[in-house]
């Protein structure tokens, strides 16, 4: 980046972005390895839990779960 004469602020932003992307990929790989290492029934339970947490964090989906007629 130095040879391109990119301003220091932009270089910092690029470094931060690359570190963030790398961390996210590492977490994805760890999750995939974990899911591949457990039984199908446990995998199903983990997936249900993850989706349940995600749904509960979304106010619209929570309303639909509590009252399916809301749709």
- In a shared domain, residues 16 and 2: yes
- In a shared domain, residues 60 and 47: yes
Per residue in 42-70, pLDDT tens? 999 999 999 989 988 998 888 887 887 76
- In a shared domain, residues 26 and 58: no
What's the pLDDT at 2?
A: 61
CA–CA separation, 46 and 38 (whole Å): 10
- In a shared domain, residues 47 and 71: yes
Domain enclosing residue 9, as ranges:
1-37
Total number of residues shown for the chain: 71
CA–CA separation, 36 and 29 (whole Å): 10
What's the pLDDT at 37?
A: 97
Helices (H), the chain: 8-37, 40-56, 59-66
How many domains does one find in the chain? 2
Closest to 19 in 3D by CA, of 30, 11, 7 = 11
């Amino acid at each position: 980046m130095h040879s391109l004469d990119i301003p220091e602020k932009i270089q910092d932003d690029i470094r931060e972005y690359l570190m963030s992307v790398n961390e996210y990929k590492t977490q994805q790989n760890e999750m995939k390895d974990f899911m591949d290492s457990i039984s199908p029934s446990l995998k199903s339970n983990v997936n249900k839990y993850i989706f349940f947490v995600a749904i509960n964090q979304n106010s619209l989906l929570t309303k639909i779960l509590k009252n399916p007629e809301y749709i």
